[in-house]
Amino acid sequence: MKLNKLTGALIIAGACAMSQAQASDDRYIIQVDNSKKGVVKALAKKLGAELHVDGDGFFAATFTGKDLSQVKGLLNNPHIKLVEADQKRYPLGIYNDDAGNPMQQQVTPYAVYQSQADQLTFDANAGMKVCVIDSGLDQSNTDFIWGNITGDNDSGTGNWYENGGPHGTHVAGTIGATDNNIGVIGMAPGVPMHIIKVFNTEGWGYSSDLAHAANLCSQAGANIINMSLGGGGSNNTESNAFENFRNAGGLVVAAAGNDGNNVRSYPAGYPSVMMIGANDADNQIADFSQYPSCTSGRGKRATNDEHICVEVTAGGVDTLSTYPADMATSSSMTADGAAFASSAMENSGNASGSLYFMGTAEATDGAANGKVCLIDRGNISFHDKVANCEASGGIGAIIVNNEAGMLYGTLGDTNSTSIPAVGAAFEDRTALMAATNANISIGTSDYGLMSGTSMATPAVAGLAALVWSNHPECTGEEIRSALKATAADAGAAGKDVYFGYGIVKAADASAYLTANGCAGGGTGSGDGDNTTSVELSASGYKQKGNSYVDLSWNGASTSQVDIYRNGSKIVTTSNDNSHTDSISVKGGGTYGYQVCEQGSTAACSATQTVVF
């Protein structure tokens, strides 16, 4: 588990492009007739340019230290049509937290969108209960339906409803923070939970604690156990306890570990436990997420078991969730009255005044006196930037990222500054540069950011409860299989040691169970008998870099049919016996197709698989 300070964040983030007289890295695009390009390129090289892209009707070149007007003057040639800045382009975040300060309004964490939890409704009457084995759930946070929450104490850890550090409260919020217009929202909002406090502020327990906790979870009527914890070495008693829970129909999830290596951690490494890795908001694997092999033993005794390695991942980087009261730090920022994203760096307090741009703030500047310093990231430490602002008489500091996304940082362990300092997103630089006044505030919060497979694990536990509440007739193992069958492939094509089957998608998993039944395999959700005569063939091909699948079927009796891809309905179309599916995702992948009579989840073809 890795701790970050909260981006308490009042956000109105715009995707704005910077307009500059000098290009990024002094790099420019020169438009020229192809027939004269050689002459102009030779001129550019003679003038000291470094040539880059050679395109149709243009080339790119770097003129170190020269702005646009200087380059235009140097390239005063009749063959040149245009000289312009070669602007940098950055990958944009795929998923983001909602705008807002969770102390004032409800904020949806990015992983909710990434996992499709917002596309499915939790059924509170389905009897789901998640058992959270952790450091307690602090009753000071009101973002829970406390009437749905019970708990047990382990020996020596104190009351389960008082925190033994923020970890357990953060985990519980990801699972089940309620939908109540304040704070955050969990994967299964308001799901009943049973809290077992096995950790305190010392932060460790024993295998025997976990084995005993598994029995307490069973006695409390839990369907799912969440363990955002782990350690080295297996233990027979512990393993048996979780296997018994699984055999009774439950589901156990545990964190893969945060050391970024291939070591197998326990209890996640037991076959009865679903091992969870962490990805970020851009569908990339977290650098700390452990990735043990699925193989155990050596030589002729080596065996392969997908249940002893990462099976799926979920968002676990900079995860926003609940904290015990006032244990997190948040920030807010406005410029000319408009709210912008910010991240608290250091020093509680408020600063309001005129904005002054200090560049990279590598020296003091008397013009910053009495003002809020706007500072670019780069060249010197954050601490020294803020120190120079304060030494200049500045009353607050905003440091803007120099790459896409929010700037998260601190002023170091030896911070000697006292003015409030916040980070800002690169995308907001243009608007901030144009503003005349700013207000920044840093204070305590009941909501904070953490990173780790400890954060991804409760996401999967909550998602499992969400999906299972819509299919209560299924077992935990069947929910486990559905989550894997419909996970979005990420990283290397197909199953791999980092992502397992991929990133969990709740709505797709629910649709898969609707179409195929708890046991999967196209039997539907009825009595398990598929009596339809629908027959399907699927043929995949690529054309100009795009992937297509031609589907042909017969035997459906309705005027229209529903077509499913990887368990999720993609279209309702005329029953004309053919359809072509276009897949927008680049690269390889495995796709399972079914055709069902419209409105039916039983009258379906067998699944046909296409691999690219």
Q: Which residues are catalytic?
A: 134, 167, 454
Neighbours of 437 (CB within 10 A): 14
Q: How many residues comprise the chain?
A: 612
HSE value, Cβ hemisphere, 13 Å, CA-based, for 541:
6
586 token code pair = 């680049």
Neighbours of 184 (CB within 10 A): 26
436 token code pair = 């005349």
Strand duo 608-611 + 590-597: pairing? antiparallel
Nearest of 348, 342, 260, 209 to residue 2 by alpha carbon: 260
Is 326 within 8 Å of 529 (Cβ atoms)? no
**Using N-to-C axis directions, what is the helix angle for 207-219 and 236-247, rounded to 10°?**
20
574 Cβ contact list (under 8 Å, min separation 6): 559, 560, 561
How distant, in Å, are the alpha carbons of 44, 431, 488, 496, 501 from that of 492?
42, 38, 12, 7, 10
Nearest of 483, 397, 478, 455 to residue 116 by alpha carbon: 483
253 Cβ contact list (under 8 Å, min separation 6): 224, 225, 226, 227, 273, 274, 276, 457, 460, 461, 464
Residue 211 backbone dihedrals phi, psi, to 5 degrees: -60, -45
**Using N-to-C axis directions, what is the helix angle for 453-469 and 506-516, rounded to 10°?**
40
Is 303 within 8 Å of 295 (Cβ atoms)? yes
Tokens 């309001």 -> residue: 352
Buried b (16+ CB within 10 A) or exposed e, 135-156: bbbbbbbebbbeeebbbbbbee
DSSP letters, 344-397, are EEE--EEEEEEEEE-TT--S--GGGTTSEEEEE--SS-HHHHHHHHHHTT-SEE
**Residue 362 falls in which region: left (phi positive, over 0), alpha (psi -120 to 50) or beta:** alpha
Neighbours of 181 (CB within 10 A): 8
d(CA 172, CA 137): 7
**Using N-to-C axis directions, what is the helix angle for 476-485 and 506-516, rounded to 10°?**
110
d(CA 402, CA 379): 11
147 Cβ contact list (under 8 Å, min separation 6): none
d(CA 85, CA 75): 14
16 Cβ contact list (under 8 Å, min separation 6): 427, 428, 429, 430, 431
